[in-house]
Copies of this chain bind each other. A is one copy, B any other.
């Protein structure tokens, strides 16, 4: 069951400049940064609010680390903008299997590791009215402390 807007993924050419825009314009601060080599992105998570399911909603700013990554190719075609949206769930495996059974293409056979130790998968945008849609199960609290 999807219980929150987990994040909005925004593709940008220059992560540092985009982080500075969000800080200077709105006062949003960086909560976490990491490089995901599998996804080919360098990213910053800006925490905007907490949510009624015990989680939080973030902006995820994404800069490609290589031109042939999914985000790199998307940026070359579309320019900067909203790349995907993500819903939070307690069980990404169960939800993605249920959604696959409804005929929506799920892009990974098994969930992969996303931001902050989460488990994630993606749904095909052509099956979701044009919206690249991610499902996220956050890491257990404290999992990033080690």
A104: which B residues are within 8 A, CB to CB? 25
The segment out of A37-45, A48-56, A112-120, A138-146 that lies at the interface is A48-56
> Does B48 contact A129, Cβ atoms closer than 8 Å?
no
Assess whether A136 is interfacial by the CB under 8 Å rule: no
> Does B79 contact A130, Cβ atoms closer than 8 Å?
yes
Interface residue total, chain A, C-beta cutoff 8 A: 37
A48: which B residues are within 8 A, CB to CB? 2-5, 87
> Does B82 contact A85, Cβ atoms closer than 8 Å?
yes
> Does B81 contact A131, Cβ atoms closer than 8 Å?
yes
Q: How far is the CA of A51 from the CA of B88 in the complex (A)?
A: 14
Tell me how far the C-beta of A48 lies from the nearest C-beta in chain B, rounded to whole angstroms: 5
> Does B4 contact A82, Cβ atoms closer than 8 Å?
no
A1: which B residues are within 8 A, CB to CB? 27
Assess whether A12 is interfacial by the CB under 8 Å rule: yes
A102: which B residues are within 8 A, CB to CB? 24-25
* A/B interface sample: 16 pairs, CB < 8 A: A2-B28, A5-B8, A5-B48, A8-B82, A10-B131, A18-B129, A21-B128, A21-B129, A25-B99, A25-B128, A26-B87, A49-B51, A49-B52, A49-B53, A51-B52, A82-B131
